[in-house]
Copies of this chain bind each other. A is one copy, B any other.
């Protein structure tokens, strides 16, 4: 009989977002008249930039004519034109020299951050660290790959190292004293909205250089950085190409959550170690995985992503991001006016607030839904250190954001 991967059975049934959906659906069924505003899941609401629409329609037309029709991509890593623009606009503009051959276009950062585990040794071969609170996919994919033991009552998995991010350390946990082989960093951070400074990133690159660790740097929210002293890429730190993979996405800057395009950079300088102790290029392994288990992103969608890098496209993306950032500011200021302590929002579409009256995260979730029909995300859903915090997303219409702020103020004051 076919034997299943029993590691899956260690996963906690109540994944965060399905549990939120369950509670919201139950509330809506019991209160069909309630005007619920959803600031929970980080999904965009505004239409795609016009440049992307135009580029994709043109690409669709090309697919309907024999002479311009595209079959299998010559290169499943992504269109050369797209990868060249990525390198120029996202990296060269920040002083980082990235080789287009090290850029891999994919259908999502969630897929990429999960799939990288395929090319790493499983079980207890690597010591793996995540922040707490953390984007749950980093943890769950490690559980599925058999890199952890069972979960504790606090939903923490044996064998994973949790780096506590809290108010005391500005949600930037310091590098540990122990050796770590693989570290997940996310900046701007989901859920806390914090951005790593150059000094902070340098401390991790230095740590990784010393221990020859691998940093998985998730920069899916990079477009939301507004403060000029903050780094947009880990490659702004000297030596990072030898220790870090960077993940980027078109989901949150250009609104591609339902259109699907992302990319990662796996520098040729990056080495892992095989079981015999030899250095092995992680990019070469990733290339092999990419070619064997993936056929590239749809030509139509890649052309849409490429349009983001036109002059008009860059302006349209800036407008879109500014719109959500203004939403985030309004939530943040509205909450501060009634004495709520808030983080994030300045360089992030997320507001990370301290629950009023010492409520637990889920108590505040239920209270908010029940009293003023607002949906957010309980901080404890992202990890034990998220307890007592709550995430509000700025991805919504201005009208809904203004209504949400009024409701929040009414509730708290």
Q: In the complex, A4 Cα to B181 Cα: how many Å?
A: 11
Provided the pairs A47-B66, A61-B53, A292-B144 are in contact, do residues A71 and B4 lie with their beta carbons within 8 angstroms?
A: no
For the complex, what is the distance from the CA of A212 to the CA of B259, rounded to whole Å?
40
Q: Which residues of B contact A11 (CB under 8 A)?
A: 288
Residues in B whose Cβ lies below 8 Å from that of A146:
122
Contact in complex: B63, A293 (CB < 8 Å)? no
> Are B57 and A45 touching (Cβ within 8 A)?
no
| Any B CB within 8 A of the CB of A372 | no
Q: Which residues of B contact A125 (CB under 8 A)?
A: 3
Q: Which residues of B contact A126 (CB under 8 A)?
A: 2-3
Contact of A64 among B43, B47, B107 (CB under 8 A): B47
Closest chain B residue to A49 by CB distance?
B64
Q: List 9 A-B contacts (CB under 8 A).
A: A3-B121, A4-B121, A5-B119, A5-B120, A43-B72, A47-B65, A73-B258, A144-B292, A258-B298
Which residues of A in the span 73-123 have a Cβ within 8 Å of any Cβ on B?
A: 73, 107-108, 110-111, 114-115, 118-122
Q: How far is the CA of A322 from the CA of B185 in the complex (A)?
A: 52
Known: A3-B120, A6-B276. 10 other contacts (CB 8 A): A3-B274, A4-B119, A6-B121, A8-B289, A47-B64, A47-B66, A47-B69, A137-B293, A260-B296, A260-B298
Contact status A259-B63, CB under 8 Å:
yes
CB of A141 closer than 8 Å to a CB of B:
yes
Contact indicator A110/B1 (Cβ below 8 Å): no
A191 interface contact, C-beta 8 A: no
Query: A50 with B64: in contact, given A108-B294, A119-B8 (CB under 8 Å)?
Result: yes
| A291 interfacial by beta-carbon distance below 8 Å | yes
Q: Which residues of chain B come closer than 8 Å to A163, judged between CB atoms? A: none
Contact A4 B293 (CB under 8 A): no
Asked whether any CB of chain B lies closer than 8 Å to the CB of A56, the reply is yes
Q: Is the CB of B71 within 8 A of A141?
A: no
A interface size (C-beta, 8 A): 84
Binary contact track A133-171/B, C-beta < 8 Å → 1, others 0? 000010011001010000000000000000000000000
A56 touches B60 (CB 8 A): yes
- Known A69-B48, A259-B63: A272·B213 in contact at CB below 8 Å: no
Chain A residues within 8 Å of B, Cβ to Cβ: 1-6, 8-9, 11, 15, 41, 43-48, 50, 52-53, 56-57, 60-61, 63-66, 69-73, 107-108, 110-111, 114-115, 118-122, 125-126, 137, 140-141, 144, 146, 181-182, 211-214, 255, 257-260, 272-276, 280, 282, 285, 288-289, 291-301, 397
Assess the A72–B257 pair: CB atoms within 8 A.
yes
Chain B CB within 10 A, most for which of A2, A69, A108, A288:
A2
- Given A144-B292, A289-B144, A295-B107, A280:B4 Cβ within 8 A: yes
- Inter-chain contact A300/B301, CB cutoff 8 Å: yes
With A107-B107, A111-B295, A126-B2 given, is the CB distance from A300 to B71 under 8 Å? no
Question: Do A258 and B70 contact each other (CB < 8 Å), given the known contacts A5-B119, A298-B301, A300-B301?
Answer: yes
In the complex, the 6 A-B pairs of residues with the closest C-beta atoms, listed nearest first: A1-B212, A4-B272, A3-B121, A2-B214, A70-B258, A114-B293
Q: Could you tell me if B64 and A260 are in contact, using CB atoms closer than 8 angstroms?
A: no
Q: Which of A15, A72, A73, A119 has the most CB of B within 10 A?
A: A72
Query: Which of B4, B9, B63 is close to A258, meaning CB atoms less than 8 Å apart?
Result: B63
Contact partners of A292 in chain B: CB under 8 A: 15, 110, 114, 137, 140-141, 144
Are A293 and B110 within 8 A (Cβ)? yes
Point out the residues of chain B lying under 8 angstroms from A182, CB to CB. 2
Are B273 and A3 in contact, CB atoms less than 8 angstroms apart?
yes
Q: Which of B56, B72, B120, B258 contacts A72 (CB 8 A)?
A: B258
A5 partner residues in chain B, CB cutoff 8 A? 118-122, 285
Report the Cα distance A46→B118, complex, angstroms: 35
- A126, A282, A285: most-surrounded residue (chain B CB, <10 A): A285
